[in-house]
Copies of this chain bind each other. A is one copy, B any other.
Amino acid sequence: MKILISNDDGIMAPGIRVLKEYLEKEHDVYVVAPDVERSATGHAITIRNPLWAKKISFGNNFFGFAVNGTPADCVKLGLQAIYKDIDFDIVISGINKGANLGTDILYSGTVSAALEGALSGKPSIAVSCIDFNQPNFEDAAKIILDILKKLDPKEIPEFTTLNINVPNIPYDEIKGLKITRQSKRRYNDYFEERKDPYGNSYYWMLGKVIEDDDENYSDYYCARDGFVSITPITVFLTNTDFTIPLKNILGVR
């Protein structure tokens, strides 16, 4: 397969290097990734400035293009400019350092890069290691290779991404795959107020995870339990459950 990869930790991050190394054992892999870390950039894109794409080599080996933009920019630029003559089979974003579970999905540059693939008409996958401190990228990459053996990307519906989170345990101890749903795992954010040398307040954001969604098949619950969590996610956000109640409330047909 022809695979475009990107991430949000930046082109120098170990996660994308391991992903490329493993995918290349069986596929043609092309890299377009942010020049620096762009975590928590959500689905931001660059509209007021142009983008530069710089060739990056490690030693004598060409690795990929580093772009002065967001993860979503990189996927757009990869598909529609740098590699526009290549008919990619799939876009894969990662491997992210740290989980993208529950409402992380909205903030994550990693997931947004994959969703940008879906918006551009390509099947896509976002992959994250749930451990932030000692992520086991090699085993996560093996899991992705396993999944690509079973899954023909053409089977992924239009406008859909697979959000994959891999538990941080050795490959042989992983209990299997689970198809999950995005949980309401979220953050109880608060701000620490400080004073700058001139007496002005400034604020550091801090947050504690709230995991109050322990139903079967919630993403974080399965990942914590030793399964690879695979959540199919869409770019369409309509809350169809509230359509009719809202019509009644507003008295419209």
A11 within 8 A of B: no
A208–B249 CA distance with the chains assembled, in angstroms: 36
* Residue in B closest to A49 when the chains form the complex, CB atoms: B204
A252–B227 CA distance with the chains assembled, in angstroms: 11
A105 within 8 A of B: yes
Q: Are B239 and A77 in contact (CB under 8 A)?
A: no
* A202 and B47 in contact, given A119-B186, A230-B246, A250-B230 (Cβ under 8 angstroms): no
On chain B, the residues within 8 Å of A204 by CB distance are 50-51
A209 within 8 A of B: no
A234–B237 CA distance with the chains assembled, in angstroms: 5
A205–B49 CA distance with the chains assembled, in angstroms: 9
Question: For the side of the interface on A, what is the size category?
Answer: 35 or more
Q: Are B205 and A245 in contact (CB under 8 A)?
A: no
- Please state the number of chain copies in the assembly: 2
A105–B132 CA distance with the chains assembled, in angstroms: 29
On chain B, the residues within 8 Å of A245 by CB distance are 155
* Residue in B closest to A47 when the chains form the complex, CB atoms: B40
A201 within 8 A of B: yes
Q: Among the listed B81, B179, B203, which residue makes an inter-chain contact with A250, where contact means beta carbons less than 8 Å apart?
A: B179
Binary interface profile of A, 35-75, with partner B (CB < 8 Å = 1, else 0)? 00001111111110011111000000000000000101100
A119–B72 CA distance with the chains assembled, in angstroms: 22
On chain B, the residues within 8 Å of A106 by CB distance are 43, 112, 115, 119, 235
A238 within 8 A of B: yes
Please name the 9 residue pairs, one residue from A and one from B, whose CB atoms are nearest each other, closest first: A42-B43, A42-B42, A233-B237, A81-B191, A234-B239, A232-B242, A232-B239, A181-B238, A50-B202
**Other A-B pairs beyond A52-B202, A103-B119, A232-B243, 17, CB < 8 Å:** A40-B44, A41-B42, A41-B44, A42-B43, A42-B44, A72-B107, A76-B189, A77-B203, A81-B193, A106-B235, A151-B249, A155-B245, A160-B239, A160-B242, A178-B252, A184-B236, A232-B242
